[in-house]
Amino acid sequence: MSPRDAAAAVTGGTPLTADSPGAPDTPGGSGPAAAPRARNTPRAGRRAERTWGWLFVSPMVIVLGLFLVLPILMALWVSMLHWDGQSNPFSGQAKFVGLDNYRSLLTENGLDRTLFATALRNNFYYVVLTVPLQTVLALSLALIVNQRMLRGRSALRTVFFFPSVTSSIAVSTVFLFLFQGSGAVNTLLSWLGLKGPNWFNDPRGVLSLLLGGLGLVDPEHPSGALAHHAFMGLSWFDWLSGPSVAMCTIILLAVWTTSGTFMLIFLAALQNIPRELEESAAIEGVNRFQMLRHVTLPALRPVLFLVLTLGMISTWQVFDQVYVMGQGAPGNTTLTPAYLSYSTAFDDANYGQGAAIAFLLLALILTMTALQRLALRERGGRRLRRKR
């Protein structure tokens, strides 16, 4: 009897095949029953994770869509209308003017463009002076309170941070009293033999005053190319005259109230720097300045970009201090685009042009942020990636 017949006898006469359960392995056969082919589980798993991820974040996406994206789209539509706020802008009752609101602000000669250029000039000087000053002050304060041997570090952190949590309206009101013509600041200057200006009523630019004091330019009657060439309705002298004395007061207020917040950001980053770097640099005999330049600042590059970006965005959007401390006075030298957008819409009932100013300001902020990111990018890391 052959082995195949014997196996058939054991199984009740049914011959065992290579695919039968319990069949012995045979050359060329499939052996034990082959497992069914597995499905593409990684792709299905990723699809399931993506579905559940969107399901979990959908409430926040809906909230952002309703309260952020949709209002932006509605405001963009309003910026293309001549709307006085008395009717429904989406019912066809408001007049559609297309890009006329933007043209009147950028290309057409008139009061609208002159006011917009004045606001841009004022806010430009506000950004150029406020952002570096508050960044340097915040980093200096963070370096001070980060000293391990300093006593009362917690109290100093509270004192430095306190102006940031105080109401900006209250602080602005206090500054109004301090910088009055007979206020505490001018009284202190009189004790030193100096005569302080009438801070909030002085529209003169500080650069024009400096050039006038040096005898280079007559601030009252400028002449030459500075007076005969203009851009967006303002002469070159107006663009280069610098911030007014009143705007300098607002700059001091902004630096004093915002440095505490950025100090905490720098402080958290300083405490994350590995102590081994500082110890190894100290062993090499590195002084404090070299430590700051070659160890601390490179480690703070991402945080420095964050602080500069937040500072630039907030300074281009300044509104509350301007509203409390003069509403653009004196002579529109404290006027900013954010306040101009508000006054154009709510005071002049020209909501279309007010929305157009807001979108031009948004485009400016995005452009400045992109340029700042390009200037602060890590060039060394990019070269290394190119070599790879």
Cα dist. 229→56, 211, 318 in Å? 59, 19, 29
Q: What angle do CA 37, 41, 42 make, to 5 degrees?
A: 135
Determine the pLDDT at residue 211: 84
Contact 335, 238 (CB under 8 A): no
Q: In a 10 Å sphere around its CB, with 0-12 CB exposed, 13-18 middle and 19+ buried, how is residue 101 labelled?
A: buried
Nearest to 182 by CA among 163, 154, 201, 209: 201
pLDDT tens per residue across span 314-348: 999 999 999 998 899 898 999 999 999 999 999 99
Q: Does the pLDDT at position 291 exceed 60?
A: yes
> Taking Cα atoms as reference points, which of 202, 200, 209 lies closest to residue 242?
209
d(CA 89, CA 310): 33
- Supply φ then ψ for residue 231, to 5 degrees: -145, 120
> Which 8-state DSSP code applies to residue 201?
G
Assign 234 to helix, strand or coil. strand
CA 50, 56, 57, 58 dihedral sign is positive
How far is Cα 147 from Cα 153, in angstroms, rounded to an integer?
A: 8
Give every CB contact of residue 361 below 8 A, 6+ residues apart in sequence.
Answer: 316, 317, 337, 338, 341
Give the amino acid at 312: M
Residue 14, helix vs strand vs coil = coil
Q: What is the DSSP letter of 36?
A: P
Q: What letter represents residue 137's amino acid?
A: L
**pLDDT for the residue numbered 387:** 47
What sign does the CA torsion over 219, 249, 327, 354 have? Answer: positive
Rounded to whole angstroms, the Cα distance separating 365 from 323 reads: 21
For residues 11 and 261, give the distance between their C-alpha atoms in angstroms, rounded to a whole number: 85
Residue 224, CA distances (Å) to 212, 221, 232 in order: 15, 10, 18
* DSSP code, position 196: -
Q: How far is CA 307 from CA 40, 133, 293, 329, in A?
A: 46, 12, 18, 30
Query: Distance (Å, rounded) from C-alpha 85 to C-alpha 350?
Result: 8
User: Which 3 state secondary structure label does DSSP give 66?
Assistant: helix
Task: Report how far apart, in Å, the C-alpha atoms of 181 and of each of 170, 188, 200, 323, 340 are.
Answer: 20, 12, 8, 20, 27
Mean of all residue pLDDT scores within the chain: 84
Is residue 79 a contact partner of residue 352, using CB atoms and an 8 Å limit? yes
Cα–Cα distance, 265 to 157 (Å, whole number):
12
Res. 12: pLDDT tops 60: no
**Band of residue 279 on the pLDDT scale cut at 50, 70, 90:** confident
Identify the pLDDT of residue 106.
93
Q: What is the pLDDT of residues 80-113, one digit of tens each?
A: 999 988 888 888 888 999 999 999 999 998 899 9
**Which of 366, 364, 365, 340 minimizes the C-alpha distance to 354?**
340
Share of the chain above pLDDT 70, in %: 87
Residue 248's contacts (CB-CB under 8 Å, 6 or more residues apart) are 129, 206
8 Å CB contact between 313 and 365? yes
Q: 24 vs 4, 5, 11, 28, 350, CA distance in Å?
A: 11, 14, 13, 12, 91
Lowest mean per-residue pLDDT among 62-66, 239-243, 279-283: 279-283
